[in-house]
Structure 1
Amino acid sequence: MSQPSVSHLIRRLEAEVGQTLVVRGREVTLTRQGQALADIARRAILSIDGAVRESRDQSALKSGSVSVAVGHVSAATLLPRILVAFNQRHPNIELIVVDCVVEQIRNKLLSHEADVGLGAVVGSDDSRLSTELLWDGGVSLFMRDDHYLADREAIDAAILAELPCIQLNPNAPPWLVISRLLVANGIHPRVDQRVVLVSTAVGMIQAGMGVAMLPHAAAAQAPRGVRAVPIRNPFLSWPISLVRLSNHPLSPAAQAFAAIARDVLRRF
């Protein structure tokens, strides 16, 4: 920029603030107010430069964070594998887990408490949300390994009407779908207990209080003495989806999490 242009800009700034900012003579010096404005401008430029560098680092996945709202069943079964893969590939990104019951994922996203959601979310008619199916596993009957059905390779769903069942989070969307499917097939499970947490259901199984329908993915974390037998006739689906706000772009960190989740669940 030429010297006359600089002088013109300084005069405009002086007119704007109503004070002399530069002492003109053989040497050009700043007045006290001019120095104060220069210091503020210098700090502003440094802040902008810092913000630009931070944005570039986030785009390059060298920094950043992502908050994930996870249904408690997925948090106990699938999330650990995703976390290990994510931390190995992106060690500089902070991943914040917001564990909750699956019905709360929607509100966690709408309140911006979470960037993405992961769990057994059935397709929503809420246009503000976008749901991507990542994995569709089956449901198994969990029981003590000394149960008379424990050695079966699979069991028909009709047996649920005869066994004391522990029902997990009956108001969760996937269970509502499963319940309707069972009723449509003339099957009415005998429910003796209703619980919210997988750990509670497993504890009751260990105590001999009954059996529980759980996603088969939970078999990998089942404690010693508990066995999972797949349910058939009909096959009971347990879909795992990635949920996000439809019109809200994902940050680079959130995009990285989504990519890792897809990869891990594709190989699950």
Structure 2
Amino acid sequence: MNLTHLRVLEAVARHGSVTEAAKELHYSQPSVSHHLGRLEAATGARLVRRAGRGIRLTPEGELLAQRAREIIGRVDAASVELAAQVGLRAGRVRVAGFQTILSTIVPEAAAALSASYPGIELNLVDVHPVEGLRMLRAGHVDIALVFRHADTPDEEEGFRLTHLLDDPLHLISREPDQRLEDHRDSAWVGGCERCRAAMVTACERAGFSPRIAYSSDDLVLAQSLVAAGMGVAALPGLALQAHRTPSIHATEIAGSARQIFAVTYGEPPDPPATSALLEILEAVAQRGRGTVPPYAARH
């Protein structure tokens, strides 16, 4: 007996037809009959018999077909496990992410990936989430790390989202325990139009439109301007974990959290290296959930 003969018998047993088994296995009908004949010769038992225009398995054939399913299942499972191990020893995973997650969650995850799977090559690129999703769809990366606000439109079909954490927005000022309403007349530091949207929305909920005097996506510059008394800003928690100017204060803005996801594309399963990094990212993010940057207050 060999595995090819057993696969033929198992396919014939499921379909009850040499013709259908041949289609599934991409064999000719004579080839299927030849394999059945070789299997009967090897076992010394009659395994099939004709029944009208089709065939049926004999009791001996049914017994062997049942065992064939078990054997094939175990061999296929072993093949998948072996491929996964090979992939984890010599795989590659490419990640597109935005600045604050690349400087906080990702380094710890990268270190854990390297320690557990030293053969996996990790490539990182710093891009805005919109560009990250575009790269993911085009096949240039395997994972896109993105953030979404409550009013963000759903991603297109084909994207699969793994929630990592919620990242609340913080009011950044020189005085502790400040509220948005306290700065309706202050100068504000805002990022690009896409990045400042959450800040503008939070201020509008508080009853005013912020006067944006300085425009920069540089989180160090934004905090430096606040520390110098030039205005106030609103930054997410991950930005404060990435860099914290000692002389500023951070107050969480209620209801402002953005959700951060690791996104993959296409039908599962993901390649072994991609799955390994996803699991590690989830674990690292879970440990960091709820972490409030130093000197931050909640309101």
User: Could you tell me the TM-score, scaled by structure 1's length?
Assistant: 0.67
Paired position in structure 2 for 1:214: 235
1:120 aligns with 2:147: yes
1:160–1:208 Cα change, 3 Å? closer
- DSSP-derived class of the 2:119 partner: coil
Which of the numbers 161, 171, 174 marks the counterpart of 1:141?
Answer: 171
Aligned-residue offset at 1:198: 2.5
1:252 aligns with 2:262: no
State the alpha-carbon separation in 2 of the partners of residues 218 and 117 from structure 1. Answer: 18
1:226–1:120 Cα change, 3 Å? farther
State the alpha-carbon separation in 2 of the partners of residues 76 and 69 from structure 1. Answer: 13
Aligned-residue offset at 1:114: 0.7
Paired position in structure 1 for 2:201: 180
Q: State the superposition RMSD in angstroms.
A: 2.8
Paired position in structure 2 for 1:83: 110
Residues 216, 230 of structure 1: 8 Å contact kept: no
1:229–1:202 Cα change, 3 Å? closer
**Aligned positions of 1:17-28 closer than 5 A:** none
Aligned-residue offset at 1:57: 4.3
Aligned-residue offset at 1:257: 0.8
State the alpha-carbon separation in 1 of the partners of residues 208 and 86 from structure 2. Answer: 52
Aligned amino acid, residue 194 of structure 2: N
Aligned amino acid, residue 167 of structure 1: G
Residues 165, 261 of structure 2: 8 Å contact kept: yes
Paired position in structure 1 for 2:101: 74
Paired position in structure 2 for 1:170: 193
1:105 aligns with 2:132: yes
State the alpha-carbon separation in 1 of the partners of residues 234 and 245 from structure 2. Answer: 18
**Aligned positions of 1:35-54 closer than 5 A:** none
State the alpha-carbon separation in 2 of the partners of residues 58 and 227 from structure 1. Answer: 49
State the alpha-carbon separation in 1 of the partners of residues 168 and 126 from structure 2. Answer: 22
Residues 185, 211 of structure 2: 8 Å contact kept: yes
Seq. identity, %: 21
Residues 97, 144 of structure 2: 8 Å contact kept: yes
Residues 100, 238 of structure 2: 8 Å contact kept: no
- DSSP-derived class of the 1:186 partner: coil
Aligned amino acid, residue 218 of structure 2: L
Aligned amino acid, residue 129 of structure 1: F
**Aligned positions of 1:187-202 closer than 5 A:** 187-202=208-223
Higher RCO structure (Cα 8 Å, ≥6 apart) = 1
State the alpha-carbon separation in 2 of the partners of residues 136 and 125 from structure 1. Answer: 18
State the alpha-carbon separation in 1 of the partners of residues 109 and 228 from structure 2. Answer: 31
Aligned-residue offset at 1:101: 1.7
- DSSP-derived class of the 2:193 partner: coil
Aligned-residue offset at 1:65: 0.8
1:239–1:228 Cα change, 3 Å? farther
User: 1:25-65: CA deviations, max 9, x gaps?
Assistant: xxxxxxxxxxxxxxxxxxxxxxxxxxx9x945434x21211
1:120–1:228 Cα change, 3 Å? farther
User: Could you tell me the TM-score, scaled by structure 2's length?
Assistant: 0.60
1:58 aligns with 2:62: no
Query: Which deviates further from its counterpart, 180-189 or 70-79?
Result: 180-189
User: 1:167-224: CA deviations, max 9, x gaps?
Assistant: 123314xx53553354244232221112233244244345543322111122233244
1:228–1:106 Cα change, 3 Å? farther
| Runs of 5+ unmatched residues, structure 2 | 1-79, 289-299
1:56–1:235 Cα change, 3 Å? closer
1:191–1:140 Cα change, 3 Å? same
State the alpha-carbon separation in 2 of the partners of residues 222 and 114 from structure 1. Answer: 27
State the alpha-carbon separation in 1 of the partners of residues 218 and 204 from structure 2. Answer: 24
- More helix by proportion, 1 or 2? 2
1:94–1:207 Cα change, 3 Å? farther
Aligned-residue offset at 1:231: 2.7
| Runs of 5+ unmatched residues, structure 1 | 1-51
User: 1:136-184: CA deviations, max 9, x gaps?
Assistant: 02111234xxx2x1xx2x4322234232211123314xx5355335424
State the alpha-carbon separation in 2 of the partners of residues 224 and 246 from structure 1. Answer: 42
State the alpha-carbon separation in 2 of the partners of residues 120 and 94 from structure 1. Answer: 25
Residues 223, 245 of structure 2: 8 Å contact kept: no
State the alpha-carbon separation in 1 of the partners of residues 278 and 236 from structure 2. Answer: 21
Paired position in structure 2 for 1:235: 255
Residues 144, 264 of structure 2: 8 Å contact kept: yes
